[in-house]
Structure 1
Amino acid sequence: MNDLSGNPQVHYQPKLLETEPYLSREYLKLERDRLWRRVWLQAARLEEIPNVGDFVTYEILDDSVIIVRSGTDQVRAFHNVCVHRGRRLIDIPPGARNATGNRNRFICGYHGWNFGLDGAASNIACRQDWQGKLTPENTALGQVRVDCWGGWIWINLDPNCEPLRDYLEPAASVLDHFELQNLRYKWRRWGVFDCNWKVAIEAFIETYHVPATHPEYMKFGVYQGWGRQEGLHSSLGYDAKGENKGRLRLGSGKDARKATAEMVAYTMEHVNSNFSQSLLDAAMRLEDELPETATEEEVLKHWLSSARQADAAQGVVWPTVAPELVARSGVAWNIFPNFRLGHAVNNGLCYQARPYGDDPDKCIFEVSVFELYPEGAAPKTEWVHTPLGDPGWGSVLSQDFSNMAAVQQGMKSTGFAGPRPNPKEEGAVVALHETLATYMGLGRPQTI
């Protein structure tokens, strides 16, 4: 595991990024083969397919994958295409993010070839016409590498890829302590945005934008932070003291009790994430339970302890994570290339972006929020298509979204030489492009 010291000490030199990765249709075509078909992609949660035969699909450019629970403790993934004439086995409903359902066989709607949950073909009409040339090997569905970590199901289109665990390090070793597999969906939304997928995900892997994009948060504290490379990935966090470096941080001011209550209440109303009802209730009790002279350290300790005890009383057990590890882990990780995972001991906030067709000016953008719930009490959720401007996104995320199309269009200007990320606060943006250049073989950030 990496050093568990507090703030990272390694910061990037100032770099200039190219605009081609954001704007070029040819670059997007190269991404399909050099990037998306070679990396591990977060495709679903295990709780989405709890029963044998349950399946979900995952779409990435020209490729569609069926992920199915083929046994009580087994998940398989297959290319969503019949090996006979190339028809997709599962059609994606118009306007839907993906397809879901339960089947004991996958049947091609063109000529009726059947495939079991193990991918093996059966019931091939007129099999004898192939003169014995059809074998179990050449008629089985194409398998896709699949594995699980943190409760998520991951796929890789490269049959020769490295193991998922190796790919995820050091993120996996750091974040294992947060027991992310126990989280459950609180809500999840998706939409098609007018920007490249990198513009979208980069909006959430840096803290530099907070004062200008979310000025209302400045009364709750200072949001200066850092971002750094972590293997293929990157982490980001705030410049703060001790355990307050994590996502469950205090509001600052003359009275940390009052500032924390106001911050949590505002965030829950306008984002409906980052905290839980137990944390909100505990924050609202702070002024009654602590004296005005309480130090920030005392307020933080009491707030988290009170919420932890309230959750435990209803059967929700938080993992115990050492303060130095909370500080080391920061507030979020960007799992290369496109999964931003915001973690805490009892909730999570995740973003994912991927290309939309062959248009570099558009992307599919997704937000999923997680919490710990008593056994069997998690809400039933589904992916809700939510257009830009819909009040369902809340005001804070809408502030982030308001920059995206403007950035995409602005980068096309002849007067723009390329992005110049803040070397410290936007270090994760630089890290994304450094790793991207390694996969793509072009577009390496240049030192200014």
Structure 2
Amino acid sequence: MATVSEKPRVRDVIRVSRDNYLSSEFVQKEKEHLWPKVWQVACREEQIPNAGDYIVFDVADESIIVVRDRNGETFSAFHNVCPHRGRQIMEGCGHAVNFRCQYHNWTFDLEGKNVVIQDKEDWNGTLDCEQIDLHRVKTGRWGGFVWINMDPASETLEEYLDPIPEYLDAFEYENMRLRWALELHIPCNWKVAMEAFMEGYHVAATHTQLLPTQGEDYTTSFSHGKHSHFGYWGATAMLGTPSPRLKRDTPADVRPGVVEFFRMMEEDFAAIFTDRDYEAAKRIMTELPADADPLTAFGMAVELGRKAAEEDGCGYPPNLTPEAMYKAGTDWHVFPNCVTLPYFDGAVWYRARPDGDDPSKCIFNIWSLKRYGPGKEPKVETEVHKDITGKSFGLIVDQDVANMYMVQKGMKSSAFSHARPNPVQEEEIINFHRTLEQYVLGQRRV
């Protein structure tokens, strides 16, 4: 990674064609060259906790059944289509002892093997040389997620994710559990939804309520192969103090600012940071003097949060040192369609997918994750909203969703031909489209 003093050398304005977001032809090429070729998050492991539990993952025209195997320790995935007449077999999620097509009773075991063909003798033995089992899909596991890849010749998940585990393994995503889960059907392209979380450049205009206590809001961003991240490596102001952009003096007592930041994140988002962190931060008002410096105040909030997590039976990840936190940065784009922002005992994970063939529709998931003590994790059902009109999902999500809607509308203007991402703060978006175009078009325009 470049040092915090280094910035990209910009010779020309970087342009991303609006066709990447609006073109029906681009959608069709994504269906052919992207979604069947990449590793994707299908679900969290805890969403299918028991042997025989399954979930259906849909993306573009593809539908995949993901099931926890009979041993309860591994996962399998299959194309969700009956080889008889093409009916999709399963819907939603649940528990199964087998997969039965409700059209003509063709039945498959949890390993995808065809075990029942109604009136099989009618074929007079000719089906014996046909592919009548479910078509298997590759699976992988990382970070507590089940990943799938429809390309049997694809690289391994480990090869695909490289170098992300080097930066994020210390956060122990696999030891987090769902705190809440949303699925929103949003009238925008899946990339518009994804990009709302791939840069911190928007915070000053979109999340203005955070600026008095967030500290630094200026970011730098870097690519790592297909993936990328941003962070506040050049920060000149600590959390709990005003953004330098506001040109305000740091208050003599920074403790209220630290507490207020955690309050807003808990009450307006309930993700990345946890309720434990907010309760712990409140204690600095009595356990620190009013003249404590910003680093001491935030550091004390972290340590009180660590003690609270230990008392809760989960603690903080043992390998998540300040050096590891600094190296990881704040936000990672996992190509093609995931973004995550982690903290010591929590994280948020976003996923976006196309919703049919309309480039102006997508399915957007938000998963709030938290470390829990043994047996203390809640049972979480995904809250699905196919129409988000007039609904609120908390101030921060509402602000981001409003941008998605207005961006999709604005891009259709005859006056707009290209996006012009910030070469310092929006490298995640630049690298995203470079990589996307290589998959979809076979060459890069960005």
TM-score scaled by length of structure 2: 0.92
Task: Indicate the residue corresponding to 2:247 in structure 1.
Answer: none
Task: Indicate the residue corresponding to 1:344 in structure 2.
Answer: 343
TM-fit CA distance, 1:12: 6.3
Structure 2 residue matching 1:166: 3-state secondary structure: helix
Structure 1 residue matching 2:359: 3-state secondary structure: strand
Alpha-carbon contact 1:233-1:335 (below 8 Å) kept: yes
Q: Does 1:58 align with 2:57?
A: yes
Change (3 A) 1:8 1:51: farther
Cα deviation code 1:219-262 (max 9, x no counterpart): 11231112221111111112445996xxxx54453233211101
Change (3 A) 1:251 1:351: farther
Cα deviation code 1:48-86 (max 9, x no counterpart): 111111000000111100000112212100000111111
Which of the residues 153, 159, 164 maps onto 1:160? Answer: 153
Q: Does 1:9 align with 2:3?
A: no
Task: Indicate the residue corresponding to 1:20 in structure 2.
Answer: 19
Q: Percent of aligned pairs with the same residue?
A: 35
Alpha-carbon contact 1:200-1:404 (below 8 Å) kept: yes
The amino acid of 2:127's aligned partner reads L
Structure 2 residue matching 1:425: 3-state secondary structure: coil
TM-fit CA distance, 1:10: 5.3
Alpha-carbon contact 1:6-1:242 (below 8 Å) kept: no
Q: Does 1:191 align with 2:166?
A: no
Give aligned pairs, total: 432
TM-fit CA distance, 1:265: 0.7
Alpha-carbon contact 1:195-1:360 (below 8 Å) kept: yes
Alpha-carbon contact 2:258-2:298 (below 8 Å) kept: no
> Partners in 2 of 1:125 and 1:20 — Cα distance?
48
Task: Indicate the residue corresponding to 2:78 in structure 1.
Answer: 78
Alpha-carbon contact 1:192-1:365 (below 8 Å) kept: yes
Alpha-carbon contact 1:11-1:427 (below 8 Å) kept: no
Structure 1 residue matching 2:127: 3-state secondary structure: coil
Cα deviation code 1:110-138 (max 9, x no counterpart): 11111001111112223233333334872
Match runs of 1:85-164 below 5 Å: 85-90=85-90, 92=91, 99-135=92-128, 138-164=131-157
Q: Does 1:228 align with 2:227?
A: no
TM-fit CA distance, 1:146: 0.7
> Partners in 2 of 1:68 and 1:8 — Cα distance?
48
Structure 1 residue matching 2:418: 3-state secondary structure: coil
Change (3 A) 1:130 1:394: same
Match runs of 1:34-433 below 5 Å: 34-70=33-69, 71-90=71-90, 92=91, 99-135=92-128, 138-220=131-213, 221-241=215-235, 249-252=239-242, 253-254=250-251, 255-320=253-318, 321-386=320-385, 387-388=387-388, 391-433=391-433
**Which blocks of at least 5 consecutive residues in structure 2 are unaligned?**
243-249
> Partners in 2 of 1:11 and 1:49 — Cα distance?
44
TM-fit CA distance, 1:184: 0.6
Alpha-carbon contact 1:145-1:156 (below 8 Å) kept: yes
Change (3 A) 1:341 1:314: same
> Partners in 1 of 2:241 and 2:331 — Cα distance?
19
**Which blocks of at least 5 consecutive residues in structure 1 are unaligned?**
93-98
> Partners in 2 of 1:409 and 1:132 — Cα distance?
57
Cα deviation code 1:335-372 (max 9, x no counterpart): 00110111122001111111110000111111110111
TM-fit CA distance, 1:298: 1.8
Task: Indicate the residue corresponding to 2:246 in structure 1.
Answer: none
> Partners in 1 of 2:350 and 2:58 — Cα distance?
16
The amino acid of 1:312's aligned partner reads E
The amino acid of 1:358's aligned partner reads D
Task: Indicate the residue corresponding to 1:30 in structure 2.
Answer: 29
Root mean square deviation of aligned Cα:
2.0
Structure 1 residue matching 2:198: 3-state secondary structure: coil
